[in-house]
Structure 1
Amino acid sequence: MSQVQSSVFAETTADVWQQMPAAALPEREQLQEALESVHQCIAPVWPLKDYVAVNPYHGITDRSFLNVRKYLQIFSDCETLMPLQHYAAEFKAGKFQLADIETALAELESENLPATSCPTAAQIVEALKQQDPEMVEQDADSQVARERQMQAFSEILDTHTGSRWTEVISDELSKFCVMHYDQGEAAWNSPWKHLSLYQAWHSAARHDRSMAILGISGFRELVAQLPPAPETALIYLLEKLQVPRQLWETYLLCQAYQVPGWSAWAKYQSEQWSSEDSADCDLTGLLAIRLAYEAAISEAKAFLVDWHSLVDSTPVRFKISTDAGEQVLQRYILLRTCEIAFRNRMLSQMQESAAENSRLVDRKMAQLAFCIDVRSERIRRQLEQTSPEIETLGFAGFFGIPMEYIRWGDVTGDNQLPVLLQPQFQLFEEMTTGDLADDQRLLNRQSIRRSVGRLWKRFQQSAVGSFPFVETMGLFYGLLLGKRTLRIGVQQSEEGETTQKNLAPRPSLRGLSEQGVTPDKLTEMAEAILRNMSLTTQFSRLVVFCGHESQTVNNPLKAGLDCGACGGHSGAPNARVAAEILNLPAVRQGLERKGIEIPNDTIFLAGVHNTTTDRIELFETDQVPESHQAELTSLQTLISQATQQTRVERLSTLKSPSTKDLLRRAYDWSEVRPEWGLAGNAALVVGPRNLTRQMDLDGRTFLHNYDQEQDPHGTVLENIMTAPMVVAHWINMQYYASTVDQRHFGSGNKTLHNVAGGFGILSGNGGDLKTGLPWQSLHTGEMFQHQPLRLQVVIAASRQAIENVISKHTLVSNLLNGGWVYLIACEEGSFYQYQTGNQWKQIDSAV
């Protein structure tokens, strides 16, 4: 048997190891500890129907940002920084100057970077001049030298023999996982679907000859010998591969990052089933399955790695070196430089408004509350510029309605709230024609139509029916294909909608009392909505909750363009329910008792902003009384003007020749860039609208209303910093990670995407599950549309109030003290940046 000592550890020195009494731990305890580290490190990914942005570094944000890079590169090739070529292009484009580099160097002294190894600003500029800014490739991380210390067995074997076993294992894993987790795409269901991932694979693999065909003749025999429990199998396989117990944790982390997509999906499954035991879940099973392939290949190829040569006689564990390479430091400094340049531009515009951050006194004709999503910034600005009679507000897009929304004719619904929360009640959609018999007739017709559709799809996909289906219906579907490609029959208006109209179901509050949602509960919900958006006085005659949604076709990742606060769904249902609740007389009376007096002439409406076409549709306008018709008509006219101006503003971002082309993107099934989503996001501003009313934030900033005068105890501020701020950080990091590391945290080329099992995406027909954003969502084809910057948060509140929140919440403290989020307090017209250890440094916004 060959004994191969991997060269990847050749540069490991004494400071890369840390003494630990690993040998004193029983096997199972040590495995449990290793598995907990793996589970902590992997962030989940949600299925396509609920797809939302996730920070892929979420589980390790207790480490500092720069420390995480070194940690990940012990056992993976993950990258967290852009290459120097990218910053050379940014410098050439004038996005930062020498002074910004000097400011970054001064600021980073507080992060305890070794002063002796830090380059000077002049040295960094010289390094940038030596780069070719035209050489920024699609996979930006491919330009960076690898620093990984731990490799998987299959990688070492591939390196020494020129084989492709790592790819084979990934394909085999994908094949089985797609089958096991299938949600209706497969012609046949797996007979082991009711079992856990490992148990199902253990049953199926004993009959699978795929590996034998590839030359691994003893694969099925090894599978038959495996223990039935995944954690026991892991111990068996680690020992079979002769991995020392001291390396178990690092090696299992390496295994998880061989297939980061499937690891993320298995983590999601584990969390959905609420397993308390990390040893008994699908992520543990996935690790055992991958190790089984490696053990079988090792045995068949008579190839072993001398893992014991990596440790001396004393049990040890990897430790992260505190030293960063010269180029890594330069790239990190340049990241901070770009962030400072963006920050200074933003604060210099904000300075004049900061001193006058009181709310407007005059009563407006209409107030429109939008989601904090960066795409709302443009439409909000255009609405306010169209008329001084309009005021806009920003609030989390689920509008405080924690519901499962069940659409008309459905049995199950969508969770219309942030994915980390659970719905508190179900709310059903109803068709209200005014005649119960007509309602029932329409419902029966809908049920029949759906049943026929399901049977027809099953016939199309069945092994027997698929061939005669193609023979019989092929020509007809070919005509439909041509019609759809040429968009024949789809008429578009400047409002961005087809001319077809249908009866529209509406949300109904009926049935809530049976679920314990009493009028008092509704009043509490309404109070929370108004207080969290700092709208407790000066109500307009019309107040509109405006959710948002996207409109695309042939786009499996559509949910990623919808409202993340609504769990990857349209925000329209939440807006409609919030408006209906606040129009209830009993709720109004309850709010008055709580100190919130809504004028009798104030009416709440709902709308939805289509972020692809920039059309705004208002709902239930037929219920607006005659007394408010003039305001409604005026509002609709102003909305039409503002949406058209917003489209004109967006033309240059998509290189569209006309606003009609923007509308075309919503219906074109070949369009890979229907809209930019949240690309470019870089900041969150929490404060009164007057702080940013006069600013053009270029659709890059989350905006959340907040008035500290209405929040004497800091309760609302705490809610914002622990929920919307964290969600904005997740979105920011999803876009950041997908840009700096497409290979691990992106999803590659959209045109190669295939839906896997109805729940995920593969590139082509194999490989790892794709979890992040596609290349076309980040890059124009010529340059990056998304500038990867960490989130910068500006909060109009006292430093003491902010510190109170930080001290109470470890997650918030980790994000701020670890360099994941930068926070700036706007207090009495001045700006102060938060620094590690509750320290503040005043910023000159005129820089």
Structure 2
Amino acid sequence: MSHLDLATDVAELVERAARLLPDQAPLQTFVHHNTLHAFEHLPFDEAVVSAARVFGTEPFQTETAFLGHVESGRIRPADLDAVAEAEARGGSPIVPGGPTRARFLALRLRHLFEVPRGAALDWLLLETDARTRLTALLDPRRRAELLTQARRDWTTTPEPSARALQARLLDTLWNSLEAAAPLVPGTGAVPVRGRDRVLAATGTDTDELVHPLLIRLSAAFLDQGVAYWPMPERERGFLHAFRRLYGQAGGPPDRFLRGLGAELRRQEAEGWTAERTIVTALRELAVPEESWGAAIEATLLSLRGWAGMMRQFEHRPERAPVEARAARLLDYLAVQLVLDVHAARHAMRNHPGGSAPDDTAVRPGLDLVYEAFVLAQVMPVDTAVLAEPEHAAAWLGAVASCDETERRRLLHLAYERRHRVGALDALRAHQRVVAGAEAPPVTMQAVFCIDEREESLRRHLEEHFPQAETYGYAGFFGVAMTYRGVDEVRARPLCPVVVTPRHLVVEESAEARTAQRNGRGGLSLGLSVGSRTLARGSVIALGLGATQVVTLVGRCLFPRLFHRWSRRLGHTPEAVTRLVVERAPGAVETEGGLLPGYSVPEMVEVVAAALRTTGLGRGLAPVVLVVGHGSSSLNNPHESAHDCGATGGGRGGPNARAFAVMANHPGVRAGLRDLGLVIPDGTWFLGAYHNTCDDSMTYYDEDLVPERSRQAVGEAKRVMARACVLAAHERCRRFESAPLDLPLDAALAHVESHTVDLGQPRPEYGHATNAVAVVGRRSRTRGLFLDRRAFLVSYDPEGDPAGDLLTNLLLAAGPVCAGINLEYYFSYVDPAGYGCGTKLPHNIVGLLGVMDGHASDLRTGLPWQMVEIHEPVRLLLVVEAEPERLAAIVGAHAVLERLVSNGWIQLVAWSPDSEAMHVFERGGFVPYVQEGEVLPTVHRSAHFYAGRREHLGFAHVTAALGTAQRRELVGEEAS
């Protein structure tokens, strides 16, 4: 095969392997996504197991964790029975007189015990009487049955003791099962990479030599301006910069890199491409050509965080925090393999003549025998039947088919079932209460993001001020724009990552604000650079060291007071700014191909879509708040992960502000009237921003509010402020630092201190506990306590006869909510493999990501402090639509069909005209049958969550309902 063919093949193999790399952008633009995006073509159950083999990760919670859920009642016996029946669907007995497959599964999930393996099992069998003593898992009834079986099989007199009878019975049982047990191969791994062969032959892990150097090189190449000295010639690519840096005369100091300098100079002189470098290295590492794909995949995955970041800079340079780099994954792989070659040479020089040990011999599967032995005691099976080889083999086969991974899968289904039943029963029960209810007169409306953190704020707003009506809409509010704020140097997209914005919106201010920004930036840069030089660094340390000590002590010991004091000390009046939303006549595209602002018809289209989709256009209140959200906290590398997913990991305030500007535009209102959408003259839209960390509100363009609307706006702000206090109080129950009897008035201060505390690892819990998404009218969920776990997407099916609005909603909200949910799932079930572990050892590197300590792989995923209270269940997506319509929409769009048909989300159709529900199972919708639990009723949410930190169920909250519904629920409680 020619060099050209090999180069083409290598490029294709690298492209294929790249699909397995993390798709996480730099920290500044953290966007939640499905951690296993490369496996979405597979059913969820298969995908998590396949990924576990590839990445060495966990597919589900541990069996010990599930045992705790069973014991606590989080998983009920009915859930285990239902899952077992659905999987096995009855069937004949496994052995004569024994349990059916369904009954076997149900009993196995009830009897969870640790199966010892390897040396632990050998010791148990040799040093204890485990083969002749009944298991401690037996109940008295089954113990008596086994003793009866032992007596039945004893034919001589006198009859021995019960202990001797049991010992003989169990010894016979063990021997029968051991004789029928299959042989299993050894655990020796097949070498894939050259590193694997060297490790097996010499005991030297060459990754320990290569990785520290490769980490330093990658960090220096991708660095976004943190380093004082930039990597030379990195604008020409990673491989070129590496060759120029390490190809200098004298060579690098590392012993294992002896001769590297000369080799790199020769490669550069001969014009070696990255592809040729890779091919040559693979051959020297003795990797067969048919194994190149696996070797390349394993090599890249050995530092998958850094490899994934190279990939991000190659394909999404616009995500770079400051400046894109000329990154190529091919270059990265070439550098890694060159280093692998030299490390392998070094290891073989120091350990000549090594050979790999053989660990492929077959041996009896004693761990399977032990498990089958214990289960034969606890399950309703006649041990005499298992003396027959064919029945013993059948029993062993049933046990083997329900191995640990399979049990965890079934337990996960039972875990999800309990949550699904609780949620769907609650929605149906609440629907019966609110059906046909007369809504109170509406004096204000508020449109929030669909984010589940806004669920509590909306609920408290409706409880405190029943005249308020709330809606949920994707937090970019249909304004897909590239945005540059007055204090920002670079513009960034504020829209879902699957959308490419075509419009540029700029925030303008007076020249004084720009001059202040430039002055602050120049001073900050001077201090940052100067502090890392000898002369200036000494002066700065002497001059500012004492003040920094005061700052550090204040931020750590008195975070909230210090924050308020520093703000008051440095307070300057906020400059008046405006968004340039409307495109000026004759304006041309920018250099990046963006249109400066929106035309009036484009703005009409944006506002009309929102009014129709949410149902807001059916009747507008005097004031409509449009509330974007984001989060700000101190010393939190993952701050962007708390921001709005619908804006691509940005903050939704500018989008809300832009939407309000559009909706207030006279030309837009005239265009809407032509479409049959009338915004009354007395209605005013006000953009706002909700900080989900400290529960503060910011309002935009208040100076533009007309005189006739000022009183209504003032009232809306007042009730929103109260709702924020109530929402903060509910959030505090989850913080161990807050007492459960925390007074209401102290809640806001507590969350504010979390925001500005330098040592606070949990400023907020973000999307933790998300589990449900409801797409439908708010009237069906208003007054239902959802424990901040539900994405609420407003949709009016009556205004969507063709289903077009629903299609657009599902295409936008479905993948976003699924991505958030799945990232939390995987970061919880394996915090080290899929998440980035605990925050405590994290260090930010180059504004790119975090490492453990001073040198590690880039840690992708979510930190444990963000997911520790999460329940790892797949998203339950409940859509107010008939199953036929929903099936047609899903089937017509590949992205939805992949998520639904492969079980990455759970889909439920909720009839708009009744309480009927249909759950998508096994390729189609099946009717849901309610189990009939009665929901508790409380007047306000605080009455339900008071004194409790754990996950809560559902409840009717009467304060948000009409008078008739309150009377009905109070009557039910009394009866």
TM class, shorter-chain normalised?
0.7 to 0.9
1:193 aligns with 2:264: no
The equivalent of 1:294 in structure 2 is 340
Match of 2:847 among 752, 758, 769: 758
Out of 231-240 and 546-555, give the one that drifted further.
Answer: 231-240
C-alpha offsets along residues 801-833 of structure 1, whole Å, 9 cap, x if unaligned? 212222222221111121211111112311111
1:518 aligns with 2:596: no
1:120 aligns with 2:166: no
Q: 1:730 to 1:211 in 2, by over 3 A?
A: farther
2:530 corresponds to which letter in structure 1? F
State the distance in 2 between where 1:90 and 1:507 align.
53
Q: 1:119 to 1:806 in 2, by over 3 A?
A: farther
Match of 1:570 among 651, 654, 658: 651
State the distance in 1 between where 2:201 and 2:841 align.
31
State the distance in 2 between where 1:531 and 1:521 align.
16
Q: 1:246 to 1:489 in 2, by over 3 A?
A: closer
State the distance in 1 between where 2:295 and 2:652 align.
43
The equivalent of 2:493 in structure 1 is 415
Match of 2:872 among 779, 788, 811: 788
Q: 1:73 to 1:481 in 2, by over 3 A?
A: closer
State the distance in 2 between where 1:304 and 1:845 align.
69
Q: Map of 1:491-570 to 2, 5 A cutoff?
A: 502-509=573-580, 512-513=583-584, 514=587, 515=595, 517-570=598-651
The residue matched to 2:23 in structure 1 has which SS? coil
The equivalent of 1:823 in structure 2 is 907
State the distance in 1 between where 2:51 and 2:879 align.
32
2:536 corresponds to which letter in structure 1? G
Q: 1:325 to 1:102 in 2, by over 3 A?
A: closer
Give TM-score, length-normalised by structure 1: 0.85
* RMSD of Structure 2 on Structure 1 (CA): 3.4
State the distance in 2 between where 1:284 and 1:235 align.
11
Contact residue 43 and residue 59 of structure 1 kept, 8 A:
no
Match of 2:34 among 55, 80, 88: 55
Contact residue 76 and residue 254 of structure 1 kept, 8 A:
no
State the distance in 2 between where 1:146 and 1:362 align.
68
The equivalent of 1:340 in structure 2 is 417
The residue matched to 1:183 in structure 2 has which SS? coil
Shift of 1:511: 6.2
Contact residue 88 and residue 129 of structure 1 kept, 8 A:
no
Shift of 1:359: 9.2
The equivalent of 1:387 in structure 2 is 465
Contact residue 732 and residue 790 of structure 1 kept, 8 A:
yes
Q: 1:462 to 1:360 in 2, by over 3 A?
A: farther
The equivalent of 2:316 in structure 1 is 272
Shift of 1:676: 0.6
1:574 corresponds to which letter in structure 2? N
1:230 aligns with 2:279: no
Q: 1:488 to 1:559 in 2, by over 3 A?
A: closer
Q: Map of 1:37-436 to 2, 5 A cutoff?
A: 37-108=16-87, 120-127=105-112, 152-155=193-196, 157-158=198-199, 161-207=202-248, 212-224=253-265, 226=267, 228-273=272-317, 282-302=328-348, 326-354=403-431, 363-431=441-509
Contact residue 406 and residue 412 of structure 1 kept, 8 A:
yes
State the distance in 2 between where 1:150 and 1:375 align.
47
Aligned length: 780
Shift of 1:69: 3.2
Q: Map of 1:573-652 to 2, 5 A cutoff?
A: 573-652=654-733
C-alpha offsets along residues 258-277 of structure 1, whole Å, 9 cap, x if unaligned? 112112212211222599xx
State the distance in 1 between where 2:249 and 2:39 align.
37
C-alpha offsets along residues 488-527 of structure 1, whole Å, 9 cap, x if unaligned? 783689xx99995631443422662323621111111222
State the distance in 2 between where 1:704 and 1:359 align.
21
Contact residue 154 and residue 165 of structure 1 kept, 8 A:
yes
Shift of 1:645: 1.7
Contact residue 475 and residue 647 of structure 2 kept, 8 A:
yes
Shift of 1:722: 1.6
Out of 529-538 and 331-340, give the one that drifted further.
Answer: 529-538
Q: 1:209 to 1:637 in 2, by over 3 A?
A: farther
Out of 226-235 and 87-96, give the one that drifted further.
Answer: 226-235
Shift of 1:694: 2.3
The residue matched to 2:699 in structure 1 has which SS? strand
1:250 corresponds to which letter in structure 2? A
The equivalent of 1:833 in structure 2 is 919
C-alpha offsets along residues 638-691 of structure 1, whole Å, 9 cap, x if unaligned? 223222222222222012134132221111111011111111111211111122
State the distance in 1 between where 2:425 and 2:353 align.
61
Q: 1:811 to 1:146 in 2, by over 3 A?
A: farther
Match of 1:451 among 522, 530, 539: 522
Contact residue 492 and residue 498 of structure 1 kept, 8 A:
no
Q: 1:473 to 1:274 in 2, by over 3 A?
A: closer
The residue matched to 1:713 in structure 2 has which SS? coil
The equivalent of 1:695 in structure 2 is 784
The residue matched to 2:697 in structure 1 has which SS? strand
State the distance in 2 between where 1:842 and 1:264 align.
42
The residue matched to 2:410 in structure 1 has which SS? helix
State the distance in 2 between where 1:209 and 1:692 align.
72
State the distance in 2 between where 1:212 and 1:734 align.
42
2:301 corresponds to which letter in structure 1? Y
Shift of 1:532: 3.3
Out of 296-305 and 635-644, give the one that drifted further.
Answer: 296-305
Q: 1:541 to 1:261 in 2, by over 3 A?
A: same
Shift of 1:330: 0.6
Q: 1:91 to 1:152 in 2, by over 3 A?
A: farther
Match of 2:827 among 728, 738, 750: 738
Q: 1:451 to 1:500 in 2, by over 3 A?
A: closer
2:923 corresponds to which letter in structure 1? G
C-alpha offsets along residues 707-737 of structure 1, whole Å, 9 cap, x if unaligned? 2221122222112222211011111111111
2:917 corresponds to which letter in structure 1? F
Contact residue 407 and residue 429 of structure 1 kept, 8 A:
yes
The equivalent of 1:813 in structure 2 is 897
Q: 1:425 to 1:668 in 2, by over 3 A?
A: same
The residue matched to 2:923 in structure 1 has which SS? coil
State the distance in 1 between where 2:560 and 2:775 align.
45
2:479 corresponds to which letter in structure 1? I
C-alpha offsets along residues 300-330 of structure 1, whole Å, 9 cap, x if unaligned? 22279999x999xxxxxxxxxxx97611011
Q: 1:587 to 1:209 in 2, by over 3 A?
A: farther
The residue matched to 1:92 in structure 2 has which SS? helix
Q: 1:756 to 1:687 in 2, by over 3 A?
A: same
Contact residue 347 and residue 845 of structure 1 kept, 8 A:
no
Contact residue 739 and residue 746 of structure 1 kept, 8 A:
yes
The residue matched to 1:769 in structure 2 has which SS? coil
The equivalent of 1:770 in structure 2 is 859
Shift of 1:697: 1.0
The residue matched to 2:231 in structure 1 has which SS? coil
Shift of 1:741: 2.0
2:467 corresponds to which letter in structure 1? E
Q: 1:274 to 1:482 in 2, by over 3 A?
A: closer
Give TM-score, length-normalised by structure 2: 0.74
Q: Structure 1, unaligned stretches of length 5 or more?
A: 1-21, 132-144, 312-322, 432-438, 780-784
Q: 1:612 to 1:489 in 2, by over 3 A?
A: closer
